[in-house]
Structure 1
Amino acid sequence: MKVLIIGAHGKVGHLLIGELQSRNIDFVAGLRSQEQIKAYNENNIETQFIDLTASLDDIKDSIEASGADVIVFSAGAGGAGYDKTIEIDLDGAIKTMMVAETIGIKRYIMVSSLFSDNRSKWEASGIRPYMIAKHYADDHLRGSGLDYTIIHPGGLSDEDGTGKVKLLGPNEQGMIPRVDVAKALALIIQNPNTIGKEYTFASGDQPEEDFFN
């Protein structure tokens, strides 16, 4: 197994690198700039240039070159504006799904958002374009032929992890450290029982090893 982390320079993606290293899981860091690639290579991390705004053929070439058979999508426009949000969080995500199906990568794990499926919450979130993008990217993934898992974590923090979570109901909110989200992803990667499932969660009392099963 080899995992391609699309968005490895983001906070969750970077923490996932540490989780995979600690579990001896082979991975490649998908990055969007040569400066990032240089910095990661200097730390002996295998990298792959991936531009989510590029053509479908270029993205296909990049993903094929990674040699991965699992994709974790943790990329995002990061508040760069409506146009970039649609281009990266929606179209970029869907292009990677299309490529995965074309080249035979079955396993695909999506880092989504809390309330991405609850339109009544979008306006109050203050990031409505992002929520729209996530909603339709998730929906496309559900309808694909991929062995998907989608996570919907609560509000993200940079606090120390607890390794414990809880299920959130349809209108519940909660916070969770990014390091615990990264751990969730690592557990999901290792557990085929998570295929076809979605998890909406925040910090709680249940060990993550028991929750993601």
Structure 2
Amino acid sequence: MKVAVAGANGTTGRLILQELAGAGHEAKAIIRNKEQASELEKLGAETVLADLEGGLSDAIRGCDAIIFAAGSGSKTGPDKTEAVDRDGAIKLMEEAEKQQVKRFIMLSSMGAGSPEKGPEELQHYLRMKGEADDRLESSRLHYTIVRPGALTNDEGTGKIKIGGQLGHGSIPRADVAKVMVQSLDLENANHKIFEILEGDQPVADALKSL
């Protein structure tokens, strides 16, 4: 499967590229700066220059699936959060619909379904994530929306906890990447929204239990 990855140069995005290569998929990393290309190509990815705030038609041409792992970052203002986390995601969905790229895996966030319950400083971010999720849910795409708890840089265990609403907790980015990539091939992950935390169930078994 040829998979376009938005946010490929981020910490989680790079782990997703590694997982894709390990699973035998072909990765197409969407990058904003050509300086990012060589490092990502070392991870086995083809690179394409595109901006989520600009044109995206070339970015996903020839792809079978999309993984959206882009984020504006915690140090940007609300305008950038809207432009990347919501509007950029929606533009990519619309381009996927135009090009009939059916499979779309969204890296969302725990709390995106009820942003008003989140910490005040995160509510705008969670609202934008939630609005992007809502648009994906109403699309014609075969979506999977993954909502992890707090992301850590701990070594992955390959084991998670999965469910509709899990409460607070954290999860290594490496395990999130594993969930995103393994969801690509699983029919029962289609049209599903779920939360994940670190846990004791192997990723493959957890996903099959959905």
Structure 1: runs of 5 or more not aligned: none
Following TM superposition, the consecutive aligned residue runs of length 4 or more in structure 1 with deviations greater than 6 angstroms are none
Matches of 2:175 and 2:193, distance apart in 1: 16
Which residue, out of 138, 147, 165, partners 1:143? 138
Aligned to 2:80: 84
- Pick which of 195-204 and 33-42 moved more: 33-42
Corresponding position: 1:11 with 2:19 = no
Aligned to 1:99: 95
The equivalent position to 2:172 in structure 1, one of 166, 169, 177, is: 177
Is the contact between residue 114 and residue 153 of structure 1 (CA under 8 Å) also seen in structure 2? yes
1:113 maps to what in 2? Answer: 109
Give the match for residue 203 of structure 1: 198
CA contact (8 A) 2:108 2:147 kept: yes
Aligned-pair identity in percent equals 40
TM-score between the two structures when normalised by the length of structure 2: 0.93
Mapped to 1, the partners of 2:8 and 2:158 lie a distance apart of: 21
One-letter code aligned to 2:36: Q
- Deviates most, 11-20 or 42-51: 42-51
Q: In the alignment, which residue of structure 2 is the partner of 1:162?
A: 157
Which secondary structure does the structure 2 equivalent of 1:48 belong to? strand
Call closer, same or farther: CA 1:209–1:35 in 2, change over 3 Å.
Answer: same
Tell me which residue corresponds to 2:40.
Answer: 40
Cα shift readout 1:6-48 (whole Å, capped 9, x = no counterpart): 1101111100111111121111111111111243346653111
Q: C-alpha distance in 2, partners of 1:29/1:88?
A: 16
Match of 2:59 in 1: 62
